[in-house]
Amino acid sequence: MQTSISSSIGDLVFDQIERLKSAFPDFQEALDTYLQQYGKSKLSLSDPIKLTESIDPVVIIFGRNCAITYSDSIKLLSGSQGRLNIRLNEIYIFGRRQPQDSKLLVWSKDGPMELEEYNSRVDTIPSRVHGVLANLEDGTFYSDLGSSAGTILAGQSRQLGGAFVRIYDPGSRESPTIRSDRIFSSRKSPEVN
Is 50 exceeded by the pLDDT of residue 3? Answer: no
pLDDT attached to residue 60: 98
* Between residues 99 and 163, the one the model is more confident about: 163
The pLDDT tens digits of the residues spanning 36-60 come to 999 999 999 999 999 999 999 999 9
| Beta carbons of 154 and 180 less than 8 angstroms apart | no
- The residues with which 55 forms a beta bridge, in sequence order, are 156
d(CA 108, CA 20): 7
Torsion of CA 135, 138, 143, 146, to 10 degrees: -110
d(CA 185, CA 83): 35
pLDDT attached to residue 6: 62
The pLDDT tens digits of the residues spanning 64-116 come to 999 999 999 999 999 999 999 999 999 999 999 988 899 999 999 999 999 99
pLDDT attached to residue 190: 63
pLDDT attached to residue 2: 42
The pLDDT tens digits of the residues spanning 12-42 come to 999 999 999 999 999 999 999 999 999 999 9
Q: Which residue ranges make up each domain of the chain?
A: 4-168
Residue of 114, 125, 180 whose CA lies nearest to 148: 125
Q: How confident is the model at residue 192 (pLDDT cuts 50, 70, 90)?
A: low
Percent of the chain at pLDDT exceeding 70: 93
pLDDT attached to residue 118: 96
DSSP letter assigned to residue 146: S
Percent of the chain at pLDDT exceeding 90: 87
* Between residues 191 and 184, the one the model is more confident about: 184
pLDDT attached to residue 99: 87
pLDDT attached to residue 1: 39
d(CA 18, CA 35): 14
Is 90 exceeded by the pLDDT of residue 8? Answer: no
pLDDT attached to residue 42: 92
Measured N-to-C along each axis, helices 4-23 and 25-38 cross at an angle, to the nearest 10 degrees, of 120
Q: Decide: helix, strand or coil at residue 13.
A: helix
Is 70 exceeded by the pLDDT of residue 132? Answer: yes
